[in-house]
Chain A
Amino acid sequence: MSQPPMEEWHVERQIVDLSKKRGKAKNRRRGSQQDGRTKLEREDVPMASGEPAAAPADVALSVRELSVSLPQGMERAYAIENVSFDLKRGQILCIIGESGSGKSVTANAIMGLLPKVIRVTSGAINLNGTNIVGLAREKLRSLRGRVVSMIFQDPLSALNPLMTVGAQIEEVMVAHDVGTPASRRSRAIDLLIEVGLPDPQLMYHQYPFRLSGGQRQRVMIAMALALEPAILIADEPTTALDVTTQAQILQLIRDIQRRKGMSVMFITHDFGVVAEIADHVVVMEKGHCVEQGSAAQVLKSPGHLYTRRLIAAVPHLTGKDRIPSEAGERASILKVECLAKTYRSGSALFRTQRIVPAVNGVSFDLTSGRTLGVVGESGSGKSSLGRLLIKLMECDGGSILFEGRDIAGLSEAEFRPLRPKIQMIFQDPFASLNPRSTVGQILTVGPVAHGMPYDEACERARELLSHVGLDAGAFERYPHEFSGGQRQRVGIARALMFKPKLLIADEAVSALDVSIQAQILKLLDQIQRETGVSMIFITHDLRVASQICDEIAVMHRGQIVERGPPSQIFLDPKSTYTRELVAAIPGEQPLSMPEHAEYGGHHKGGETL
Chain B
Amino acid sequence: MTAIVAHAAPARWWHSRAVIRFMRHHLALLGIAMITLLVLACAIGPYALPYDSLHIDLRARFAPPLTGNHYLGTDPLGRDLAVRLLMAGRVSLAVGFSAMLLSTLIGTLIGVTAGYRGGWVGAALMRTVDGFLSYPSIFLVLALAATLRPSPAMITVIIAVTSWMETARIVEAEVRSLREREFVQAARMVGLRRSHIMFREILPNAMGPIIVAASLAVARAILLEAYISFLGYGIQPPLPSWGNMLNGAQQYLASAPWLAIIPGAAITMAVTSFNFIGDGLRDALDVRNDHI
Q: Which of A382-421 contact B (CB under 8 A)?
A: 387, 390, 392, 416, 419-420
Residues B291 and A424 in contact, CB atoms below 8 Å apart: no
Task: Report if A433 contacts B (CB, 8 A).
Answer: yes
Which residue of the partner chain, among A115, A446, A447, contacts B291 with CB atoms under 8 Å? A115
Q: How far is the CB of A199 from chain B (nearest CB, A)?
A: 35
Confirm or deny: A102 has a beta carbon within 8 angstroms of a beta carbon on chain B: yes
Q: Which residue, of B6, B8, B287, has the highest number of chain A Cβ atoms within 10 A?
A: B6
Cα distance A91–B2 in the bound complex, in angstroms? 27
Residue of A whose beta carbon sits closest to that of B185: A392
A2-B290, A392-B185 known; A449+B193 contact, CB < 8 A? yes
The reply to whether the CB of B66 lies closer than 8 angstroms to some CB of chain A is: no
A42 contacts partner chain B, Cβ-Cβ < 8 Å: no
Docked CA distance A1–B188 (Å)? 25
Q: A75's contact among B6, B190, B193, B201, by CB below 8 Å, is which?
A: B6
Q: Mark B203-245, 1 if CB is under 8 A from A, else 0.
A: 0110000000000000000000000000000000000000000
Inside 8 A of A445's CB, which chain B residues have their CB? 187, 190, 192, 196
Min distance, Cβ A462 to any Cβ of chain B, angstroms:
18
Q: How far is the CA of A445 from the CA of B187 in the complex (A)?
A: 9
A26 interface contact, C-beta 8 A? no
Closest to A107 in B: B1
A179 part of interface (Cβ distance < 8 Å)? no
Cβ contacts B261-292/A at 8 Å (1 or 0 each): 00000000000000000000000000110111
A436 touches B205 (CB 8 A): yes
Given the interface pairs A74-B5, A75-B7, the reply to whether A3 lies near B290 with Cβ below 8 Å is yes
Chain A's closest residue to B5 (CB) is: A2
- Which chain B positions have C-beta within 8 A of A419? 189-191
Q: Which residue of B lies closest to A413 (CB)?
A: B193
Q: CB within 8 A of A5: which of B4, B182, B287, B291?
A: B291
A344 at the interface (CB under 8 A from B): no
B47 CB-CB contact with A under 8 Å: no
Q: How far is the CB of A121 from chain B (nearest CB, A)?
A: 16
The total of interchain contacts (Cβ-Cβ below 8 angstroms) comes to 119
Cβ of A416 and Cβ of B191 under 8 Å apart?
yes
A261 contacts the other chain (Cβ, under 8 Å)? no
Q: Are B183 and A431 in contact (CB under 8 A)?
A: yes
Max count, chain A CB within 10 A of own CB: residue among B1, B3, B185, B290 = B1
A432 and B191 contact, CB distance less than 8 A: no
Collect the chain A residues with CB atoms within 8 Å of residue B189's CB. 390, 392, 419, 423-424
Cα(A420)–Cα(B192), bound, Å: 11
Chain B residues contacting A436 (CB-CB under 8 Å) are 204-205
Interface check B44, CB cutoff 8 A = no
A491 to chain B: which residues have CB within 8 Å?
186
Quick check: is B254 within 8 A (CB to CB) of the other chain? no
Q: Considering the complex, which residues of chain B in the window 50-103 have a beta carbon less than 8 Å from any beta carbon of chain A?
A: none
A107–B101 CA distance with the chains assembled, in angstroms? 51
> Which of B4, B183, B192 lies in contact with A70, CB distance below 8 A?
B4
Which interface residue of B6, B7, B9, B191 has the most chain A CB atoms within 10 A? B191
Distance of B191 from chain A, by nearest CB (Å): 4
- The number of chain A residues with a CB under 8 A from chain B is 53
- Residues of B contacting A371 in the complex (Cβ-Cβ under 8 angstroms): none
Question: Closest CB-CB distance, A479 to chain B, in whole Å?
Answer: 9
Cα–Cα distance between A494 and B4 once the two chains are bound (Å) = 27
CB distance from A133 to the nearest CB of B (A): 18
Report how far A446 CA is from B183 CA in the complex, Å. 12
**Interface flag for B181 (CB, 8 Å):** yes
Given contact pairs A99-B2, A104-B1, A434-B201, A75 touches B8 in the complex (Cβ within 8 A): yes
Is A99 a contact partner of B205 (Cβ separation < 8 A)?
no
Indicate if A480 sits at the interface (CB-CB under 8 A). yes
Known: A420-B191, A446-B192. A432 touches B182 (CB 8 A): yes
Asked whether any CB of chain B lies closer than 8 Å to the CB of A50, the reply is no
Q: Is A455 an interface residue (CB 8 A)?
A: no
Contacts of A435 in B (CB 8 A): 183, 205
Contacts of A428 in B (CB 8 A): 182
Q: Which residue of A lies closest to B206 (CB)?
A: A436
Say whether A446 contacts B190, CB under 8 Å.
yes
A478 and B183 in contact (CB under 8 A), knowing A435-B205, A445-B192, A446-B190?
no
Give chain B interface residues in 16-46, CB to chain A under 8 Å: none
Residues of A within 8 A of B2 (CB): 1-2, 4, 99-100, 104
Closest to B289 in A: A3
**A392-B185, A419-B190, A419-B191 given; A481·B9 CB < 8 A:** yes
Contact of B4 (CB < 8 Å), options: A100, A449, A450, A477: A100
Residues of A within 8 A of B193 (CB): 449
Q: Which residue of B lies closest to A100 (CB)?
A: B3
* A90 in contact (CB, < 8 A): no
Nearest-CB residue, chain A, relative to B180: A431
Which residues from chain B contact A446 at a C-beta distance below 8 Å?
A: 187, 190-192
Residues of A within 8 A of B192 (CB): 445-446, 449
Which of A105, A423, A434, A497 makes the CB contact (< 8 A) with B187?
A: A434
Q: Quick check: A105 and B4 within 8 Å, CB to CB?
A: yes
Judge whether B190 and A2 touch: CB under 8 Å: no
A504 nearest CB neighbor, chain B only: B189
For residue B188, which residues in chain A have a CB less than 8 angstroms away from its CB? 392
CB distance from A394 to the nearest CB of B (A): 12
Q: A387 to B5, alpha carbons, bound, how many Å?
A: 33
Would you list which residues of chain A between 441 and 475 have a CB under 8 Å from chain B? 445-447, 449-450
| B9 & A478 in contact (Cβ 8 Å cutoff) | yes
Counting CB contacts under 8 A, is A558 at the interface? no
A546 CB–B CB distance under 8 Å: no
Asked if residues B181 and A449 are in contact (CB atoms below 8 Å), the reply is no
Report the Cα distance A71→B196, complex, angstroms: 40
A392 to B5, CA, bound (A): 34
Taking CB atoms, residues of chain B closer than 8 Å to A478 are 9
B149: min CB distance to chain A, Å = 43
Residues of B within 8 A of A70 (CB): 4-5
Tell me if A145 is interfacial: C-beta within 8 Å of chain B: no
Do B186 and A450 have beta carbons less than 8 Å apart? no
B23 smallest CB distance to A (angstroms): 15
Q: How far is the CA of A484 from the CA of B291 in the complex (A)?
A: 21
A102 and B3 alpha carbons, distance in the complex (Å): 9
Closest to A390 in B: B189
Question: Which B residues touch A484, using CB under 8 A?
Answer: 3
Which residues from A are CB-within-8-Å of B196?
445, 449
A31 contacts B by Cβ under 8 Å? no
CA distance A5 to B188 in the complex (A): 33
CB distance from B152 to the nearest CB of A (A): 36
Return the 5 tightest CB-CB contacts between A and B, nearest first.
A446-B190, A419-B191, A432-B182, A436-B204, A99-B3
Q: A residues touching B (Cβ–Cβ < 8 Å)?
A: 1-5, 70-71, 73-75, 79, 99-100, 102, 104-105, 108, 115, 117-118, 387, 390, 392, 416, 419-420, 423-424, 426-428, 431-437, 445-447, 449-450, 477-478, 480-481, 483-484, 491, 494, 497-498
9 contacts between A and B (CB under 8 A): A70-B5, A79-B4, A99-B4, A104-B1, A105-B4, A420-B191, A427-B182, A434-B186, A478-B9
Given contacts A2-B7, A104-B4, A484-B3, 15 further A-B contacts (CB under 8 A): A2-B2, A2-B5, A3-B288, A3-B290, A5-B291, A74-B8, A79-B1, A99-B4, A432-B185, A433-B186, A436-B205, A445-B192, A446-B190, A497-B190, A498-B190
